[in-house]
Amino acid sequence: MIAAWLVLGKDGMVGRAMMEQLGPRAVGLSRQECDFTDVSFLDVIDAAFTVKPFSVLINAAAYTRVDDAENEDSGTLLRINAIAPGELAAWCAKNGVVCVHFSTDYVFDGSGTHAWREDDVPAPLNAYGTSKLMGERAVAAVDGNYLIFRTSWVYAAQGKNFFTTMRQFMATRASLQVVADQVGAPTFAGHLAQGVVTGVENAMAQGEFPRGIYHLCHGGVVSWHGFADAILAHERAVNTELACQATVPVSTKDYGATAPRPSNSQLDCARAKMVLGVALPAWEVGLRACCDEHASNPLG
């Protein structure tokens, strides 16, 4: 019998990708259907479990507006990103369900030039990163089977994200200023979902469940400016009337975002490959897949 999976945040980038990857195995709940700010949100999960028992719960719901988080009511931010994940993990432990939670490169301060390992000491620079670190710790504090996947720079063919924003601007603007002094690995949500499903299935097949934190993102490293240039190259190949002629590198300071960002978001994903048997390809491969997906479904 094929195990059922519950996906929370089914309409977000990662949630949508998980639903597509899992197909008929997935039961999904949107943010509106399962609102973490409602103290009775676990009742909704209880009801879903009663109708169709599931073996894996994927928490793809989160407060992700990094700049807004600096001014957000801390109660709301922490409720969604820090407190609710711990309550989900406790529910999963009680009901014998594997809890899968997503976290971020923003738990690190971005110092140095090395790729961050799971056992490196976190030191988030902003409110969003702090709330996600608290969520990690809340999940890990529960005595159950859990996997926390830290990833980086997630994007998709649809929705609001760096890829779709760049495409929109490139269609109408002659040039774009893009930050050049932050580096990491852009991660296509479709490939992330594939990796998570494989990793969870491999974990469940092991005699002793390998609970813990795992880094999972595409291979390689590029700046936001370099990523924008790569998107522009793809756009030029298919759109002869493209307005954008160049991307202009700017510093983080000159760009002037509200929340500070880590300058080095590289993640070392060796542990996920060794323990869970999963690794994502180079970020360029992910970009090609995203462009192909958008071409086949431009309206998403």
Task: Quickly list DSSP for 120-156.
Answer: SPP--SSHHHHHHHHHHHHHHTSSS-EEEEEE-SEE-
Name the catalytic one among 63, 106, 128, 155: 128
Residue 128 annotated in active site: yes
Question: Are 226 and 191 in contact, with CB atoms under 8 Å apart?
Answer: no
Q: 191-202 burial by CB neighbour count: b if 16+ within 10 A, else e?
A: bbbbbbbbbbee
Tokens 């894996």 sit on residue: 56
- Asked whether the beta carbons of 235 and 172 are under 8 A apart, the reply is no
Catalytic residues: 128
